[in-house]
């Protein structure tokens, strides 16, 4: 019987991670030696598609890690890269991979400081470990939400899910070519919200980046903090392309269950509303209040109905 990713981490690995900086393996990143550290792998056929451009595969591998640092209020500094290249994939493509990586290391001001390169009979796999510096005295944890706080999210939710659907076969909802290109780009090339990391360090109580679906990831903040999150589904920010998708028959609430958003979900005291709105304006980033923190457990909509969709990796046979 396959095992659930989160159950395996909690049951088998968390007991081995006793140091305070490991945060019980219930956070996006660890604190060690004054730095914030995170590692995330992407696998062909799981996190990207075999025929995605190799330049964007490199960008996604880097950006999913930078997203975790942004969500912890850190500045990205350096990365280690492990490249596991399939025996069946043309080696000439590695040049494109390096080009995509170079462009993003430059754009984000991050240094490549090492890694490992090996080949495999399996799918293309890229693992990156990223190191960052805290931008404030606090590093917001998933466990820091308190009843009475607001719930916020950066950017827009659901585009990547629509993009993956468009790439994966006949889509259930037909989009214009322009909208389709926009959502596919969101799936292939996430936008780590590093420009907002200082605001997260200054204002967020709890924070995490949304990678497995907003509703499910909100559940991780709720569980780690011992609170209930109430989300106003109608307030969830979506792009113009996603509005067209909804108008053509897509279900708005489904966007809260799609993966690969890489936006920051955070809670903050109600007294910080003006400061958060100002920080969004200053960094030219949409920031939306989508709900509130209450006593209790789980994630619900305004009617009290549970919101639980999302992606969980199943391990083994
Ligand atoms: P994120 O989606 O933010 O990268 P994950 O859900 O992948 O976070 O991981 C949650 C927590 O579990 C993190 O603290 C991560 O470091 C830890 N973790 C995941 N897999 C392992 C593992 N194999 N060994 C040790 N810690 C792990
Ligand atoms: Mg994360």
Per-residue pLDDT reduced to its tens digit, 82-112: 999 999 999 999 999 999 999 999 999 999 9
Average pLDDT on 186-205 reads: 98
Per the CB < 8 A criterion, the answer to whether 267 and 141 are in contact is no
Closest CA to 128 of 70, 62, 66: 62
What pLDDT, on the 0 to 100 scale, is given for residue 309?
65
In whole angstroms, give the CA distance from residue 12 to residue 238: 37
**Best residue among 16, 20, 25 to mutate for probing ligand 1, ranked by most atoms within 8 Å of CB:** 25
Query: What is the Cα–Cα distance from 99 to 96, expressed in whole angstroms?
Result: 5
- Tokens standing for residue 203: 């204002």
Q: Is 284 exposed, middle or buried (0-12, 13-18, 19+ CB in 10 A)?
A: exposed
Ligand 2 centroid to residue 26 C-alpha, Å: 10
Report d(CA 274, CA 296) in Å as an integer: 27
**In contact, 204 and 258? CB cutoff 8 Å:** no
Span from the CA of 208 to the centroid of ligand 2 (angstroms): 6
The mean per-residue pLDDT over the stretch 207-218 comes to 96
Q: What is the pLDDT of residues 129-171, one digit of tens each?
A: 999 999 999 999 999 999 999 999 999 999 999 999 999 988 7
Between the CA of 270 and the centroid of ligand 1 the distance, in Å, is 30
Dump pLDDT digits (tens) for 108-136: 999 999 999 999 999 999 999 999 999 99
Closest of 258, 37, 63, 239 to residue 154, by C-alpha: 239
Average pLDDT over residues 180-190: 97
| Predicted pLDDT at 169 | 82
Mutate to test the pocket of ligand 1, among 9, 12, 130, 141 (most ligand atoms within 8 A of CB): 9
pLDDT at residue 254 greater than cutoff 70: yes
Question: 9 CB less than 6 Å from ligand 1?
Answer: yes
Handedness of CA 245, 250, 251, 256 (dihedral sign): negative
pLDDT of residue 171: 77
What's the whole-model pTM score? 0.96
pLDDT of res. 314: 81
Task: Report d(CA 224, CA 304) in Å as an integer.
Answer: 20
Output the pLDDT for position 62. 98
**Residue 299's pLDDT is what?**
96
290: which 2 tokens? 């989508």
pLDDT value for 310 = 61
Q: How confident is the model at residue 182 (pLDDT cuts 50, 70, 90)?
A: very high
pLDDT (average), residues 241-251: 95
| pLDDT value at residue 313 | 75
Q: What is the pLDDT of residue 7?
A: 92
For residue 297, the CA-to-ligand 1 centroid distance in Å is 22
Closest CA to 219 of 227, 38, 264, 211: 227
**Ligand 1 pocket member 40 (CB < 6 A):** yes
Q: How far apart are the first and last CA of the chain?
A: 5
What distance in Å separates the CA atoms of residue 223 and residue 64, rounded to the nearest whole number?
Answer: 23
278 Cα to the center of ligand 1, angstroms: 33
Question: Is the per-residue pLDDT at 312 higher than 80?
Answer: no
| Consecutive H or E run containing 202 | helix 197-203
Which among 261, 274, 131, 130 has a CA at the least distance from the CA of 208? 261
Of 314, 305, 208, nearest in space to 266 by CA: 208
Ligand 1 atom, smallest distance to 6 CA: 6
27 pocket-lining for ligand 1 (C-beta < 6 Å): yes
Which atom of ligand 1 is the closest one to the Cα of 16? 25
């Amino acid at each position: 019987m396959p095992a659930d990713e989160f159950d395996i981490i909690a049951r088998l690995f968390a007991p081995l991670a006793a140091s305070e900086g490991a945060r019980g393996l219930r956070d996006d990143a660890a604190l060690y030696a004054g730095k914030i550290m995170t590692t995330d792998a992407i696998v062909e056929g799981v996190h990207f598609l075999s025929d995605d451009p190799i330049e964007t595969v490199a960008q996604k591998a880097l950006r999913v890690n930078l997203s975790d640092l942004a969500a912890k209020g850190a500045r990205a500094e350096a990365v280690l890269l492990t490249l596991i290249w399939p025996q069946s994939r043309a080696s000439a493509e590695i040049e494109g991979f390096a080009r995509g990586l170079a462009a993003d290391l430059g754009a984000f001001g991050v240094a490549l400081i090492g890694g490992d390169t090996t080949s495999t009979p399996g799918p293309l796999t890229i693992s990156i470990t990223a190191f960052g510096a805290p931008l404030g005295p606090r590093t917001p944890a998933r466990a820091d939400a308190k009843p009475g706080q607001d719930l916020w999210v950066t950017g827009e939710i659901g585009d990547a899910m629509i993009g993956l659907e468009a790439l994966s076969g006949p889509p259930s909802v037909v989009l214009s070519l322009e909208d389709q290109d926009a959502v596919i780009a969101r799936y292939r090339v996430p936008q780590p919200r590093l420009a907002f990391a200082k605001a997260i360090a200054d204002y967020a109580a709890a924070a995490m980046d949304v990678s497995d679906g907003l509703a499910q990831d909100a559940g991780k903040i709720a569980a780690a903090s011992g609170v209930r999150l109430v989300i106003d589904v109608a307030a969830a920010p979506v792009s113009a392309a996603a509005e067209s998708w909804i108008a053509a028959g897509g279900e708005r609430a489904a966007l809260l269950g799609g993966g690969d958003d890489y936006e920051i979900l955070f809670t903050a005291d109600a007294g910080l509303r003006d400061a958060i709105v100002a920080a969004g304006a200053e960094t030219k980033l949409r920031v939306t209040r989508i709900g509130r923190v209450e006593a209790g457990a789980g994630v619900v909509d305004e009617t009290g109905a549970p919101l639980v969709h999302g992606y969980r990796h199943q391990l083994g046979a």
